[in-house]
């Protein structure tokens, strides 16, 4: 009887103090790869300050999603106005910075075009000047040689050759006058070239004066993809134009697909927008495939 009571008491104690299994929780912010599923998205809201209508924004978003689908050879992103994760346009100071940067780039581009035209014109005139100067120097050398030869002949000539020497001397004097006139024209052309060079330098100085003395240490974040488990939210803070908005959408869709930043600055998934980015690259596609393989191994 006592043994039965002890065994019953031991069983009760084991039941009370035996540790229960705790279910594992996915960490906040963990990514869900879209290797075997389609991620749904929708246009949620647009701040009126953007001056962008849903009819204008939706085709741009659809275009960015279609590029990923085409590049990956399967549908991984689909528009669903009811169930899709929200894409929001939130206007803030970054948009004004983007507009100011765009205006600066346009002004610099105009200056660069003007500088290129001035440089081309200056180089053309300089080449002509150098040709004229080379021809003048050859004439100068020939005239000096002819004068030296004339002086030698004049010293050795007899009185009967005076008339012939007189005509030759008159010809040399005429050539000297023409030569002096050409020298004046070259001097005038040289001064004109110096003025053109100064104008070019002034244009370059004006162009460089547009650039802020202190450049920003990094580009402001213009898009953000927040993800908690399978729940995603995309926010667009700023863009310069449709092209840059499309690049930002491609980048944030890449994050929605589970891709991190890449080191190649020409890839869409590089950490910052830059002039090298035009479309999805093989590095972007390979990064998606790689994270799919890693997700399958977990």
Mean pLDDT of all residues belonging to the chain: 82
pLDDT at residue number 143? 87
pLDDT at residue number 24? 24
pLDDT at residue number 296? 59
CATH number of 39-96+221-297: 3.40.390.10
Mean pLDDT of 2-9: 37
pLDDT digits (tens, 9 = 90+) for 24-44: 222 334 444 457 789 999 999
The lowest-confidence range among 10-14, 133-137, 245-249, 282-286 is: 10-14
Which residues, other chains included, contact 277 with Cβ-Cβ below 8 Å and sequence gap of 6+?
247, 265, 266, 267, 268, 270
pLDDT at residue number 194? 92
pLDDT at residue number 268? 95
Check pLDDT > 90 for residue 211: no
- Residue 298: which pLDDT band, with cuts at 50, 70 and 90? low
pLDDT at residue number 160? 67
- Residue 95: which pLDDT band, with cuts at 50, 70 and 90? low
Mean pLDDT of 258-266: 93
pLDDT at residue number 34? 56
Does residue 259 or residue 272 have the better pLDDT? 259
Mean pLDDT of 53-58: 96
Q: What percentage of the chain reaches a pLDDT higher than 90?
A: 47
pLDDT digits (tens, 9 = 90+) for 224-257: 999 887 799 999 988 888 998 999 999 999 999 9
pLDDT at residue number 87? 98
Check pLDDT > 80 for residue 294: no
pLDDT digits (tens, 9 = 90+) for 145-198: 988 888 887 787 676 666 777 888 888 889 889 989 989 998 999 999 999 999
pLDDT digits (tens, 9 = 90+) for 121-151: 999 999 999 999 999 999 889 989 988 888 8
pLDDT at residue number 272? 84
pLDDT at residue number 154? 79
Side-chain half-sphere of 268: how many Cα atoms within 13 Å?
30
């Amino acid at each position: 009887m006592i043994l039965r009571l002890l065994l019953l008491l031991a069983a009760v104690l084991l039941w009370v103090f035996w540790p229960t299994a705790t279910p594992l929780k996915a960490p906040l912010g963990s990514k869900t790869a879209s290797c075997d599923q389609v991620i749904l998205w929708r246009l949620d809201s647009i701040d009126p300050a953007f001056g962008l209508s849903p009819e204008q924004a939706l085709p741009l978003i659809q275009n960015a999603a279609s590029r990923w689908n085409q590049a990956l050879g399967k549908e991984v992103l689909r528009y669903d106005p009811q169930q899709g994760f929200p894409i929001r346009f939130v206007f803030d100071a970054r948009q004004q910075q983007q507009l100011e940067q765009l205006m600066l780039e346009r002004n610099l581009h105009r200056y660069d075009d003007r500088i290129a035209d001035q440089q081309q014109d200056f180089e053309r005139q300089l080449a002509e000047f150098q040709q004229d100067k080379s021809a003048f120097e050859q004439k100068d050398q020939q005239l000096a040689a002819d004068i030296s030869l004339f002086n030698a002949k004049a010293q050795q000539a007899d009185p009967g050759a005076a008339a012939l020497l007189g005509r030759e001397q008159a010809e040399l004097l005429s050539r000297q006058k023409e030569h002096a006139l050409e020298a004046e024209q070259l001097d005038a052309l040289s001064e004109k070239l110096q003025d053109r060079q100064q104008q070019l330098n002034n244009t370059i100085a004006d162009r460089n004066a547009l650039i802020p003395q202190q450049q920003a240490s990094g580009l402001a974040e213009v898009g953000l993809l927040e993800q908690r488990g399978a729940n995603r939210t995309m926010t667009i803070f700023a863009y310069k134009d449709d092209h840059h908005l499309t690049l930002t959408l491609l980048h944030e869709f890449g994050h929605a697909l589970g891709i991190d930043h890449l080191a190649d600055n020409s890839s869409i998934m590089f950490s910052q927008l830059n002039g090298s980015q035009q479309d999805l690259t093989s590095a972007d596609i390979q990064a998606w495939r790689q994270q799919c393989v890693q997700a399958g191994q977990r």
